[in-house]
Structure 1
Amino acid sequence: MFKKKQQKVKRFGWPTVIISGLICLLLGAGGVYYFMDQRLEAAEATSRSLGKIGTVYSALYQNYYRKVNREKLVNGALNGMVDALGDPFSEYMSKSETESLNNTISSSFTGIGAEVQKSGSQIKIISPIDGTPAKKAGLRANDIIEKINGKKINGYSLSKAVGLIRGKKGTKVTLTIKRGNETFTKTLVRDTIPVKTVSGHLVKNQPTIGYVKVSTFSENTAKEFKAELKKLQKKGAKSFIIDMRDNPGGLMDQALKMSSIFVKNGKILLQVKQRTGAAQVYKAGPKFDDGYKITGKTVVLINSGSASAAEIFSAALNQSAGAKLIGTKSYGKGTVQNTLPFSDKTELKMTIAKWLTPDGDWINHKGLQPTIKADYPKYAYQTAIDTKKTYQNGQVSKQIKKIQTLLQALGYQPGDVNGYYSDQTTAAVKKFQQDNQLTVSGKADAKTVNTLETKIAAKLSQNDPAYQRAIEAVK
């Protein structure tokens, strides 16, 4: 405890006190007038802007040569204001779009299982969720959706695009995807996106290592996460591999509750910086973890599909608990959004702040770098094969080269991987078709190509370099 030293008080005469008081009063009054002037100027500027918007609205509604829908004009104005921000994560949402967002947060919806965002005038995939149609179809982070069911969506709002992608379970949606310089089409069957966001198991032949996969951050994710950790501990787990790959993020509070489990009380989990004022600092403690802690060695798997809350969790464990990040660079979403609901059940979703890692880094568009880089083989990242065509002997194309690459990866012998459909490639396709109970034609039709890609996905899940490096790191 510090105690202030007592100082001798200097006394002033009444004239000095009166003059000083008047000066202070005048200075204070000037400050109030200045502050009020600022507020009045801001109010007048807002009034002028709204007046102009009202004038344009009235002119269009009353004088446009065709009848205009009121709601369409209002929504156009609202969407226009939000679009002017140039922020892919801010949007005005209709009633159906608001319902769609709420379903996503509560993790109970049907669709293809891909988190998307607006990127300029395009719709871009942030991450496909594990076990969903999007993941099974080979969609990846940064894929651009050019068409939905053959219709170009350039310039569409994010919510409008999502509304077209989602639909009843069992129905089909065809997406035209641009990846790099290539374009291909995939038809997906909509399904129920997993309500359970956390799964886990003990690592094979490593009974003291627990593996936990988190697919997204929804309302019950922290609760599921803690339950899974406790279950694995009862089975003997002492160290953990937390898989945040292809996790598009979600609710910030869930990330705080989960990361606090691995971080010592009082250490920083996250900093949130709004437009003005100091950053709000969130620290580990019972407020988030209810006193439940894990002190055993832990590593986190990340990749280009790890975004938002997944990055908050990963950065907290890396910078405040010394956990290694294994995999590839994360997505890089460093902003925080909130919603403003309206009585008509529409909402304004807007970016209200940027978030910083415990060390004060803003990773927006930069992502988190892995401590240990580990990745799948190159063939895992080649673009999907266009299934609109059937490929056969004598043809030459880039698509055939992809087929040869996958055949070779699966142990078949397609000959030179050069894009020419040779006799040897035909023989390899026939062998593959025979092994997988397909019609043996030697031609790579849609069914053959889809089966080929499915087999590759299964091979990759069994041969996961990042997962193997994680096991080595915690042993």
Structure 2
Amino acid sequence: MADKQNTPQSEDQVESGQDLKATTTEGVEPTTSHSSKKRRRPRVKRFTRFTYWFSILVALAVGMIAGVLIVMHQIQPTLRLNNELNEVLGVYQTVKTNYYQKVSQKQLVNGAVEGMLNSLDDPFSQYLDVDQTSSLNDSTSGSFEGIGAEVQKSEQAIKIVSPIKGSPAEKAGLKANDLIMKINGKSTANLSVDQAVSKIRGTKGTKVTLEIKRGAATFTIKVKRGKVDQASVTGQLAPSDKTIGQIQISTFAENTASGMKKTIKQLRQEGATRFVIDVRGNPGGLMNSALAISSMFLKNGQIIMQVKARTGKAEVYKAGKSYDDGFKVTEPVVVLADSGSASAAEIFSAALQQSAHVKIVGTQTYGKGTVQTVIPLNNDSEMKFTTAKWLTPNGSWINKKGITPDIKADYPELAKLGLISSGKTLKLGSVGNQVELLQTNLKNLGYSVKVTSIYDDQTVAAVKQLQAKAKLAKQDGVFEDTTRTALYTEVATYLINHDNTMIAGIKAVTAE
């Protein structure tokens, strides 16, 4: 306060030098005999106008410098990104301008996008061109024409996650974990998942030839394409107990929830008082569909799943009317699952196991614990990539681990055998692993035959029995494609009648 008051006074004194002198003279003490010099007042240091404005300018300069530093810090990531993109743009421009052949802009851009997604080393993150986008839309809407198998990229091959129930792939004998080595004679080693799918799919009634590796065995099979209704939910009363409804969910698509409601209501009218829900071989599908169906079996407020993005807290999804429209299943339930149960099928299984304490019967599930998002890039392409991981109600991440069943039960050994290659003829005198495989199948079905790898008289007699049983025109003991179809039709019937997992599921739900 003193400085502010003295400053104008000081300025007035400087501007009037005479007054200052007079004032000073009058203010000194009288002289003595010892000294004739005048005593001078001490000089007080005061701010000038120059000092005032200079201080303001310095403050402004400091503020501007600080502001520039803050802005530079904020835009540094953008500058780094621009530098990185400049490298990509440089390559793009160089290739476009100097490549020895003309290259389309679209080809280069698509290649760059696909390359970025491939660098993630994530089989579920991929670039989708116009055909692949259409294929994805067909899959989630519930029907398409093809063989009906969920696949993913594996090392040097395309791996079958699971054939869809009732699909041409399942009828042909393809199984979860089979490796597709070739499609129509062309290697799949360098194919993306969507490139492979586009080659496998085709018009209903046409055939695709696949070379399959199952364990140590490799075989070739021709699969007739058909219409695949993968959104279907089918149900029936158990033959052994008419109070138990058996419900099979083949996939989780747009209309699966409505199909589930319809099937439950129908089975209730037919007398079902408990249910076995079968998601074996279900490769997954839409998360919203899994949420809707899971909510039907849980009390409102119980946790279905959690979704955790790279940052932030997990988002918790709970059962409620917004998912199930108020439709609830309160009857006793068990769930059947296996290694072909993946993604949305695992969301459903984990929700019922952990929140509703429903027993899971079967084998370890596949273990896909990630969430993908589809983002349109332009009018004819999309990008599907992993944006989060999903957790079970208790916070577990089942990725690459799967869900452990409460009651273990598996298919008969006959279900785990490789397939006999199509297009091959086996007859008296034939030798090799294909003959051994035929004999193993026949023996498991109850035919009198020894496994020797040699097509002997006993094998001829067994094949004749098979042909007669199927009422084939030729019953000559020669094994060719018509007899092969008859063999696997009988295998399918055997597996239905000896379904150890379903038998264990019915036993478990009866005890509830």
The TM-score normalised by the length of structure 2 is 0.84
- In the other structure, the counterpart of 2:488 is 453
Name the % identity.
Answer: 50
**CA offsets per residue over residues 218-261 of structure 1, 9 Å max, x none?**
11111111121122122222211000011010011111111111
Instruction: Give SS of 1:109's match.
Output: strand
Equivalent pair of 2:222/2:422 in contact (CA under 8 Å): no
Change (3 A) 1:38 1:156: farther
Aligned match of 1:427 in 457, 461, 464? 461
Aligned-pair distance for 1:205? 4.1
Aligned-pair distance for 1:121? 4.3
Change (3 A) 1:371 1:40: same
The TM-score normalised by the length of structure 1 is 0.90
Point out the more displaced range, 277-286 or 115-124: 115-124
Equivalent pair of 2:412/2:499 in contact (CA under 8 Å): no
Q: Which amino acid aligns with 1:262?
A: F
Does 1:383 find its partner at 2:424?
Answer: no
Does 1:444 find its partner at 2:479?
Answer: yes
Aligned-pair distance for 1:164? 0.7
Q: Distance in 2 between matches of 1:434 and 1:37?
A: 85
Change (3 A) 1:428 1:58: same
Structure 2's unaligned 5+ residue stretches are 1-63
Which has the larger Rg? 2
Change (3 A) 1:71 1:427: same
Instruction: Give SS of 1:333's match.
Output: coil
Q: Which amino acid aligns with 1:461?
A: I
Equivalent pair of 1:112/1:132 in contact (CA under 8 Å): yes
Structure 1's unaligned 5+ residue stretches are 1-28
Q: Distance in 2 between matches of 1:33 and 1:244?
A: 60
Change (3 A) 1:44 1:174: same
- In the other structure, the counterpart of 1:365 is 400
Q: Which amino acid aligns with 1:267?
A: Q
Q: Which amino acid aligns with 1:214?
A: I
Aligned-pair RMSD on alpha carbons?
1.9
Change (3 A) 1:65 1:419: same
Aligned-pair distance for 1:392? 2.1
Aligned match of 1:252 in 287, 299, 323? 287
**CA offsets per residue over residues 42-97 of structure 1, 9 Å max, x none?**
21122112111111111111111222232222211111000000000001110111
Point out the more displaced range, 242-251 or 416-425: 416-425
Q: Distance in 2 between matches of 1:247 and 1:30?
A: 62
Equivalent pair of 1:88/1:120 in contact (CA under 8 Å): no
Any residues of structure 2 matched to 1:231-380 within 5 Å, and which?
Answer: 231-380=266-415
Equivalent pair of 1:256/1:288 in contact (CA under 8 Å): yes
Change (3 A) 1:412 1:121: closer
- In the other structure, the counterpart of 1:16 is none
- In the other structure, the counterpart of 2:256 is 221
Q: Distance in 1 between matches of 2:395 and 2:344?
A: 16
Equivalent pair of 2:342/2:368 in contact (CA under 8 Å): yes
**CA offsets per residue over residues 263-288 of structure 1, 9 Å max, x none?**
12222110111100111111112222
Aligned-pair distance for 1:367? 0.8
Change (3 A) 1:85 1:445: same
Aligned positions, number: 446
Aligned-pair distance for 1:320? 0.6
Q: Distance in 1 between matches of 2:94 and 2:150?
A: 39
Aligned-pair distance for 1:122? 2.6
Change (3 A) 1:34 1:173: farther
- In the other structure, the counterpart of 1:148 is 183
Q: Which amino acid aligns with 2:289?
A: Q
Change (3 A) 1:33 1:179: farther
- In the other structure, the counterpart of 1:194 is 229
